[in-house]
Amino acid sequence: MHDELWAKRGSDGKWHSLVGHSADVSAALEALIKIPLIGERLRCLGSIKTTENDAFSSKLSALAFLHDIGKANRGFQARSDVGAPPVGHIDELAWVFSGGRGAEAVCDRMSETLGLDRVEAWLTDGSRLFDAVFAHHGRPWALGDEGRHADIKDASAHWRAGSGDPVAKLAPMRAAFDTWFGEALADAEPLPDLAGFEHAFAGLLMLADWLGSNPAPGFFPFDNGRHADRMAFARERLALVLPATGLDARPARAAEHQIGASFAGAFAQQGREPFVAKPIQAETARHPARLLVLEAETGSGKTEAALWRYAELFRAGAVDGLYFALPTRVAATQIFERVKRFRDNVFPPQERPAVVLAVPGQMHVDEAEGTRLPDFDVQWSDDGDRAARWAAEHPKRFLAAPIAVGTIDQVLLGSVRVKHAHLRAASLLNKLLVIDEVHASDTYMEHLLTNLLRFHVGAGGHALLLSATLGAGARARLLGSGEVPGRVEADTVPYPALSWYEDGIERRQQLGLAGQPKPVRMEARPILTDPDAVAETALSAALDGAKVLIIRNTVGQALRTQEALEARVGISDGALLYQAPHADGRRVATLHHSRFAEPDRRVLDAAVESTIGRERATGGCIVVGTQTLEQSLDLDADLLLTDLCPVDVLLQRIGRLHRHAGRTRPHGYEEPRALVLVPEARELIRTSLRAYGLGSGEKGGVYEDLRILELTRRLVDAKSVWTIPDMNRQLVEAATHPDALCAIEAELMATDPDWRPHFDKRTGKYFADLSAAQGALLRFDQRFSTFRIEPDEVIATRLGGADRHVDFMSGERPLPIGPFGRLVPALKLPHHMAGDVPVEAQPQDVEPLDEAGGFTFRLGSIAFTYDRLGLRRME
């Protein structure tokens, strides 16, 4: 194709020189470091006290310039012929530096050609920044601490001298290096050799490589070998690209200052009374701690507190962006709309940072929706600015968005040994990280989160953890205080409260009154396994005019309850059963759970809030669902029927009961009542209860720790009235504090030996999860060279089986139509439903159902139905 080294090529015959591409990435890294907060975080990790000498960013930019020198090898360059074998450039370069047979001579020639001795002068004996340079594709090269690794393969054929000598062809790189990095070469001060600095540099270089490798309009077009002034061009282009993508927040900050929205203005909604900041919102926003835990009751305004803290930190220049992490995809989708509304109130239209829904499989930025096309391109539903949507077009870039709402999994992927983990962790450094419902994390997830928090906050970043009530043990671990307060002290911790760690002590600040006391009458009903009795109880209340919310622990039991209700009232009685609108205008009886397609979930969410939310109509109605009803949705039930669950989850569900004060309630339901569905037998050790989400089997369970469930049941029996939120702290500690768990375990084993296998299993699982977390962690406190990704190792952010993605867009058939008249591009198949479905299976025999709506399909030999009751496997 040409004699000069190339780095990128297009299907249209255009190409990009190695010098030109290297300049683009080098300039991108330099520009990122010159963003004040990113540079500040990097210097913090490197313990650099001054910013006077700009040689710091110039040296790192020079290292970035070398990131693709491995592309000089013969095998890679031969790929200008589309039929050539797919030879890479990372491990091929690792061979050069391995010291293996024949490699040393190539290494010496390469060092001389490029003048690498001058770069080595910046690196101390312990520094592994060079390793980080060649991890820009998201994984480390094969070299380890000893300078060689068994995975390194002989690449001598790719670097042989003679005609077309690949090392000699690197001479233009040397010439460009000398021209563009004179300032760096004139400064012999070594770069930091601290582990956290190396990891952060690796992540920022990955981000720079994503930016500099984008040939789209407005980014970095191919130079076709004309690279003499490429560095100047790249720097000029980045001055436009970084603000356009939202990575440089300075223009948005200047515009936000012009508006200076008040709290009331930030949360203004048409038709609503202006908001006045509550103590939890005002105090959370101005607190100086970098890592805060906010505990307050459901419905008290924790989401607004988090957003207002972001606004205040953003104004002060302490953060450049926001990542709002939720425990589930469903909760993320629900919060997404609230965050967009807040953004619209705080920023002027011409400088509004994009709000990205960071959920893989969905592509949403503001009001626009994207569709994946061949060749990794994206088609958007409007003609908005593509640069502003850059971060949304690939999940690895989600955390680089100026404002993103997504699952906690995207955060935790920056804490484990997976490809591009450093990119995610580094993209968060200048953002406020908000973790909602942090109590929902298990042992494994909590350990991963703690690891990331230490890195993030250690670099000077900000994080806010939200919970209705967090147990003392979890709070101490997440804050890093290490010491769990005793039970008596834990019970007296103020509520609602902010907690933080300072001078070796966990400190706390009470946030005014806990809110208007809400006495909730609690009653245990031994009808957990009787859906007919559940249906009769709910129907009686609905006929009295009550809005009834039924939350079951599993989809299976929710379906059984719905079927029992429909057997009594029929599916056409819109006065009593929850219904969602069909695209043709009719109403469809349904229920609310996680096994619906994303377009249908949006319909269901809006319908359930209109049915039983703030603006609900009068008259009785019953809504059946699962845990999807306990988070993020603004629901206001007159009566709650809920399966037994851990006390912190139960409090979350109770938060959907009598949520809005001052409403006229039907006679007999003026006071909030919660009926807790429990098994008839007193003991919880029966294996049959796994179907109801209590306990675990070989494939795990929903709520596996029977100690917490037993203590929660006893709380319901012992206290007929729970005053919320005054009792929240004592209730949670009574069922989750380590002292309480040890006591109930000793008591139960002393009275019934059948409990011992459960406790032994729980102990084993705890240590297994802890061990799995330790093995999965990306150790930011260890040198970069210790970072490894084993070829066959799969590391997840949650333990257990992985859900499957069923894509209906890959075939030539039109997309199927769901039960509410919307097209269904994809479905999520839960892991327990996909156990014997071949991994490679694609949907076949997609057939519409009758006029009821929905469709059937087959994966391998397994048939599925998707209709108004959700996705079900047909046995």
CATH no. for residue 23? 1.10.3210.30
How many domains is the chain partitioned into structurally? Answer: 4
Query: Between vectors from CA 587 to CA 846 and to CA 553, what angle results, nearest 5°?
Result: 75
Do 674 and 714 fall within a single domain? Answer: yes
Q: Among 151, 137, 108, 174, which Cα is nearest to 25's? A: 137
Do 472 and 558 fall within a single domain? Answer: no
Do 811 and 837 fall within a single domain? Answer: yes
In this structure, is residue 196 part of a structural domain? yes
In this structure, is residue 789 part of a structural domain? no
pLDDT for the residue 242: 96
Domain stop point among 674, 696, 724: 724
Do 423 and 553 fall within a single domain? Answer: no
Do 442 and 530 fall within a single domain? Answer: no
- Confidence (pTM): 0.92
Do 492 and 528 fall within a single domain? Answer: no
Digit-coded pLDDT (tens) for 460-483: 999 999 998 899 999 999 999 878
866 - beta bridge partners?
A: 855, 871
In this structure, is residue 760 part of a structural domain? no
Do 278 and 323 fall within a single domain? Answer: yes
The one-letter amino acid at 627: Q
Indicate if the alpha-carbon torsion angle 253, 256, 261, 267 is positive or negative. negative
Do 214 and 267 fall within a single domain? Answer: no
Task: Report the alpha-carbon distance of residue 649 to residue 631 in Å, rounded.
Answer: 10
Model confidence at 1, pLDDT cuts 50, 70, 90, reads very low
Domain holding 627: CATH number? 3.40.50.300
Residue 152 has pLDDT above 70, yes or no: yes
In this structure, is residue 779 part of a structural domain? no
Do 393 and 303 fall within a single domain? Answer: yes
Digit-coded pLDDT (tens) for 67-105: 999 999 999 999 988 889 999 999 899 999 988 888 999
Digit-coded pLDDT (tens) for 362-411: 888 998 888 877 666 788 888 888 888 999 999 999 999 999 999 999 99
Q: What's the mean pLDDT in 723-752?
A: 92
Task: Report the alpha-carbon distance of residue 262 to residue 346 in Å, rounded.
Answer: 9
Do 198 and 79 fall within a single domain? Answer: yes
In this structure, is residue 176 part of a structural domain? yes
Q: What's the mean pLDDT in 310-339?
A: 92
In this structure, is residue 753 part of a structural domain? no
Q: Among 90, 439, 182, which Cα is nearest to 294's? A: 439
133-147, 161-175, 306-320, 614-628: least confidently modelled range: 133-147
pLDDT for the residue 592: 96
Do 173 and 260 fall within a single domain? Answer: no
Q: Among 669, 658, 663, which Cα is nearest to 299's? A: 658
Domain stop point among 180, 215, 245: 245
Do 716 and 628 fall within a single domain? Answer: yes
In this structure, is residue 771 part of a structural domain? no
pLDDT for the residue 542: 96
In this structure, is residue 795 part of a structural domain? no
CA 177 vs CA 171, 183, 190, 221, 286: distances in Å: 10, 11, 18, 21, 46
Domain stop point among 677, 703, 724: 724
The residue count for the chain: 875
Domain range for 303 is 250-510
